[in-house]
Amino acid sequence: DTGDPFDGYRDLDHTNETVQKNVKTYLDFLLNELGYAGFRYDMVKGYAAKYTGMYNASANPIYSVGEFWDGNKTLVTNWINSTKVDGKIQSAAFDFPMKYKINSAFGGGNWSALGEQMLSNDNSYKRYSVTFVDNHDTYRDNNKLSTNVCAANAYILTMPGTPCLFLKHWQSNKGTLKRLIAIRKAAGISNESEITSANASTSGFTLKVKGENGT
């Protein structure tokens, strides 16, 4: 076993060449026969990051994100770096460090948390940050985001990183989220945009991001 133990899945021996060949064949099938653009790798703590790198280098997807569920930014960036093949990073990761800051700020009023370290405010890793407010797992937690869902989504939609919207949020707030997406596109904000200022107060958080077309 090359990663953390987890009894929810069958183990694959990624060190085995036959397993590697079969995974590569399956990913090629998904991309070139079923028309997938890329992959979301689940529970990537369960095996060494170099295998995600190996599989992506072989399949060459447009998009890849790993679920390295940890609020420790250093551990997440270590995983990203460990996917390198020939010195090139092969996968983005969900910005779980940001998720925990979102819970603290939008759920608990600790606005200064949004100024702390996460992937999307790090110039070296923002292009590898997939940002989110909630997902199918975290939504089940007892957090206090229900009254601040649109504000939290406004935050990720004006930040660098690649924002990922939760379906239930979209279904409940489609009009607002459509406008926020339109604003992001109009300003030309991308996963490599520049944060020009970020200031916390007792009542909220003010963020300014420079896109290709506006701020």
CB distance 43 to 68 below 8 Å? no
Which is nearest to 98 in space by CA: 130, 67, 128, 127? 130
Render 87-141 in DSSP notation, one character per residue: TB---EEE-HHHHHHHHHHHHH--GGGGGS--STT-TTTGGGEEEES--TTGGGS
Displacement of CA 81 from its chain's centroid (Å): 15
The residues assigned a catalytic role are 42, 67
